[in-house]
């Protein structure tokens, strides 16, 4: 018997056990799974990137330069850690000017005591965990070049700008060593700040510092004794959102609440930024959920800071 070839082009009819007929067209496209919607965040700027591949998963407000508050200290730390021949065990004497600066500018502080001798390594912890502007001042004064404090801090800020320029970050600039911007000329974009952090993560000391929830260290005190410094990390995602490995908080009158964040699960690490976000921690959790394909932001309970720790 010769079959009619046109039948192969007709819709096939399948008889179900129930007696119903189901018509299936050979031209029908397979059903596609709905793409996961991008999260809505409070931040005016936001970014999420795969740390290893550089693939961008999320971007918001990336065309606008914004002040970055204390997230500036990522560049401060990176500048210190990449200085040729830097001695992390070098002791730096804390000057009264650093404390006066905190009072005058109402900056966040590591509460460094005048006359104490604190190592560069310890100052990095006070800088990144407690967001100490006094620690930033001490590092800039100790490691910048010049015969006066003003010359040395200006020199250090110049090093910070050379660092970002060498990384091709054209929308980032600093006029301060800590984010307290006298001229409003410390600014960045979400992508630039994320890429800066991606570069900083290549340094193992940077990675080790920013993932700590707490740090305790002893330093020779001005009175000849020993002082214990204990700092809690103001990044409350640490210990709250599974896999968090950093990075830095920041808050300013113009910058608003800011956050640079990173988390690792399995072989994947995502890094990102929230700029001027009233709900910055939940924003970050939403973006990381988007990357990891998880739903942890809905049940996120942030770690409670100790009474003496200001949120920054």
**Under 8 Å between Cβ of 66 and 72:** no
Count the Cβ atoms, other than its own, within 10 Å of residue 292.
17
Of 59, 60, 70, 163, which is the active-site residue?
70
Task: Give, in order, the Cα–Cα distances in Å from 103 to each of 65, 250, 278, 292.
Answer: 28, 18, 26, 42
CA distance 224 to 218: 13
Active-site residue 248, yes or no? no
Distance CA 116, CA 15 (A): 87
Q: Which of 73, 95, 163, 248 is catalytic?
A: 73
- Say whether 240 is catalytic: no
CA separation for the pair 249, 72 (Å, rounded): 10
Buried b (16+ CB within 10 A) or exposed e, 42-61: bbbbbbbbebeeeeeebbbb
Residues 135 and 125: their CA atoms lie apart, in Å, by 9
Residues with Cβ within 8 Å of 65's Cβ and at least 6 positions away in sequence, in order, are 171, 187, 188, 189
Cα separation, 296 vs 231, in Å, equals 27
Whether 95 is a known active-site residue: answer no
CA 235 to chain centre: 9
Catalytic residue among 59, 95, 113, 131: 131
Q: Could you tell me whether strands 187-188 and 66-67 are parallel, antiparallel, or unpaired per DSSP bridges?
A: antiparallel
Active site residues: 70, 73, 131
């Amino acid at each position: 018997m010769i079959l009619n070839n046109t039948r192969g082009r007709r819709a096939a009819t399948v008889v179900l056990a129930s007696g119903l007929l189901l018509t299936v067209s050979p031209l029908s496209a397979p059903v596609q799974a709905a793409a996961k919607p991008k999260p809505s965040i409070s931040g005016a700027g936001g970014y999420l990137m795969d740390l290893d591949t550089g693939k961008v998963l999320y971007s918001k407000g990336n065309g606008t330069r914004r002040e970055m508050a204390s997230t500036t200290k990522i560049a401060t730390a990176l500048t210190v850690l990449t200085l040729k021949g830097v001695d992390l065990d070098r002791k730096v004497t804390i000057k009264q000017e650093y404390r006066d600066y905190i009072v005058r500018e109402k900056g966040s502080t590591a509460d460094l005591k005048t006359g104490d001798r604190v190592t560069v390594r310890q100052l990095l912890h006070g800088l990144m965990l407690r967001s100490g502007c006094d620690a930033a001042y001490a590092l800039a004064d100790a490691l910048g070049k010049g015969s006066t404090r003003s010359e040395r801090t200006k020199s250090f800020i110049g090093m910070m700008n050379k660092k970002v320029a060498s990384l091709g970050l054209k929308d980032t600039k600093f006029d301060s060593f800590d984010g307290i911007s006298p001229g409003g000329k410390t600014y960045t974009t979400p992508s630039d700040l994320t890429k800066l952090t991606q570069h900083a993560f290549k340094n193992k000391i940077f990675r080790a510092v920013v993932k700590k929830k707490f740090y305790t260290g002893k330093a020779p005190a001005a009175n000849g004794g020993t002082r214990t410094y204990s700092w809690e990390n103001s990044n409350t995602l640490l210990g709250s959102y599974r896999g968090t490995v950093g990075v830095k908080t920041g808050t300013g009158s113009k910058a608003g609440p800011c956050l640079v964040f990173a988390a690792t699960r399995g072989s994947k690490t995502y890094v990102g930024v929230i700029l001027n976000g009233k709900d910055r921690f939940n924003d970050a959790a939403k973006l990381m959920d988007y990357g990891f394909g998880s739903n942890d932001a809905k049940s996120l309970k942030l770690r409670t800071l100790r009474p003496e720790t200001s949120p920054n």
